[in-house]
Amino acid sequence: MMDSGENATGSAMPQQKHALVVDDSKAARLVLRRMLEKYGLRVDTVESGAEALEYLRQHRPDVVFMDHMMPGMDGFEAVRAIKDNPDTATIPVMMYTSKGSDLYLGQARALGAVGVLPKTVAPAELFESLRRIGLVEDRRSHKRESTEDMPSERAEDVRRRSTPPPPVSAFTEPGMRDQGELDEHLRKLLDEQRVELRKDLLLGMESVSKHTAGRLDRELDEKLEALQRKLPSPAPSMFPVILLSTLLFGSLAWNYSLQQREAPQPQAATVVEKASAPAAVVPEPPPQTAASIPASLWQTIAWAMNRSLQYDYDQIALDEQRVDLIDKLVEQLAGEGFHGKLVLETHAGEFCLLGGQESGFRLPPPELTVDKCDFIGNPVQPTDSAAAHQSLRFANFSASNPLLNGGPITLEVIAASRSDPLFPYPPRTADTTAQQWNRVAAQNNRVLVQLEPGTPREGVGE
């Protein structure tokens, strides 16, 4: 809906300037229109960004006053659309809002706005803004031009003072019958203005809360990284010894199980002899030998070595659910007498998603092609930092669990690079659907558990 203002100065100005006011509040539109008409501008008003773009297809105002917070298309989006159109890009756009931070001012200027005015703009501030863009002239120039006619004006002033002024009737808006109807109209306008101010206040509080939440998230990430740096340094790599010991233990266990199943057959003795022969030439394993490891620990080791923990696209790798499982695993390993390192290798899948940071991300329909995705990545784990893959509860667990701090087990978290995924992704083309892509991403979105047996430390677990 568009409202057209009346010419406040008559036909004295040969080239009357033209302004467009865009605001969803009727009260705010009326107040700003009245102020602009006092400076001789012809004013039209619309109540949304979409109506403003439609208006600009047929009209070319000299300036556009744009509200920021509006339903549907907001002020920033409307300014971007105006500046992206070559036919309207040269029209000056003045933002006016209840926000006044440097960040907001920078955003408005980056989009092409010539300035930002507060909702409760003073007449002098509005005049200065209009003067800067050449829509009004400086009052002082009018005073200098009028000094030439000073004598006649003084005589005219004398005659005016000698003539009694006409009686003043009660002021009413056009179309209103009496003062009571005007009062009711003003009350409605004030109510609308109160609603507008409340809306701006709520939006401002929401913006501040989002900014505060982001700052707290950054501080939490920094504290998690500092906490990880304070954890005990991992022992030197024992991978060759561990690999050799694992092969030896596997060979002994396999031969033992084979002997148990085939005890009545004469081949069992031959198998045992073959299994024991190479064992004599293999370098001595760590003190924790296969014979000293109970069968229940073998089951735990086998479970942990083959266990992979998958998690959803909107979860952190080491969140509360995984903490409970890892806590149980640590207790079970310590109870069976395990000494060594527990390694958690986190992998983050890159998912095809729709939406954004403000509106939130969601999985697309299965038939959508991957080239139509709004975002491909992992929004809750944007980096390959180990701290970014851990919840606060997991950090507290790893720092306070006595079995992991001076106990028989050390814990190490490794964040694998997503540039080298566990499973290769399909090509990002129109032939690949979101379902195919996200199936691979879900396979890559997991935590791998590894056990590295070591030598029992003196005074621990004895």
Per-residue pLDDT reduced to its tens digit, 435-452: 999 999 999 999 998 888
Instruction: Specify if 156 maps to a domain.
Output: no
Instruction: Specify if 172 maps to a domain.
Output: no
Residue 25 has pLDDT above 80, yes or no: yes
Instruction: Specify if 159 maps to a domain.
Output: no
Tokens of 46: 């619309």
Same domain, 368 and 411: yes
How buried is residue 385: exposed, middle or buried, by Cβ count under 10 Å (0-12/13-18/19+)?
Answer: middle
Same domain, 368 and 268: no
Residue 344 has pLDDT above 60, yes or no: yes
- The answer to whether 352 touches 434, Cβ cutoff 8 Å, is yes
- Rounded Cα distance between 65 and 358, Å, is 26
Instruction: Specify if 258 maps to a domain.
Output: yes
- Rounded Cα distance between 389 and 319, Å, is 8
Instruction: Specify if 339 maps to a domain.
Output: yes
- When pLDDT is averaged across residues 108-118 and rounded to a whole number, the result is 87
pLDDT tens per residue across span 138-158? 765 555 554 454 544 455 555
pLDDT tens per residue across span 209-242? 777 877 888 888 888 888 777 766 655 556 555 7
Last residue within a domain, chosen from 286, 320, 353: 286
- Rounded Cα distance between 444 and 446, Å, is 6
Same domain, 211 and 260: no
Instruction: Specify if 166 maps to a domain.
Output: no
Residue 189 maps to which CATH number? 3.40.50.2300
pLDDT tens per residue across span 53-108? 999 999 999 999 999 888 888 889 999 999 999 999 999 999 988 766 677 778 88
Instruction: Specify if 425 maps to a domain.
Output: yes
Last residue within a domain, chosen from 222, 253, 286: 286
Last residue within a domain, chosen from 254, 286, 318: 286
Say which residue, 368 or 359, is predicted with more confidence.
368
- Rounded Cα distance between 427 and 446, Å, is 21
- Rounded Cα distance between 61 and 91, Å, is 7
Same domain, 246 and 382: no
- Rounded Cα distance between 80 and 106, Å, is 14
Instruction: Specify if 161 maps to a domain.
Output: no
| Number of domains the chain is built from | 3
Same domain, 92 and 69: yes
Same domain, 410 and 430: yes
Tokens of 261: 């199943």
CA dihedral 312, 314, 320, 322 (to 10 degrees): 30
- When pLDDT is averaged across residues 328-334 and rounded to a whole number, the result is 87
Instruction: Provide Rg for the chain, Cα atoms.
Output: 38
Same domain, 55 and 82: yes
| pLDDT, the chain, mean | 77
Residue 279 has pLDDT above 50, yes or no: no
- Overall pTM > 0.75: no
Same domain, 209 and 278: no
Ranking 250-254, 399-403, 437-441 by mean pLDDT, the lowest is 250-254
Same domain, 370 and 301: yes
Same domain, 120 and 269: no
Same domain, 188 and 271: no
The two beta strands, 351-356 and 42-46, are unpaired
Residue 172 has pLDDT above 90, yes or no: no
Residue pointed to by tokens 């109160």:
194
Residue 433 maps to which CATH number? 3.30.1330
Inter-residue long-range contacts of 79-85, CB under 8 Å, 24+ positions, other chains counted: 79/108, 79/111, 79/112, 79/113, 80/111, 80/112, 81/49, 81/53, 82/52, 82/53, 82/56, 82/112, 83/111, 83/112, 85/56
Q: Which domain holds residue 265?
A: 236-286
Same domain, 196 and 345: no
pLDDT at 45: 96
3-state SS assignment for residue 413 = strand
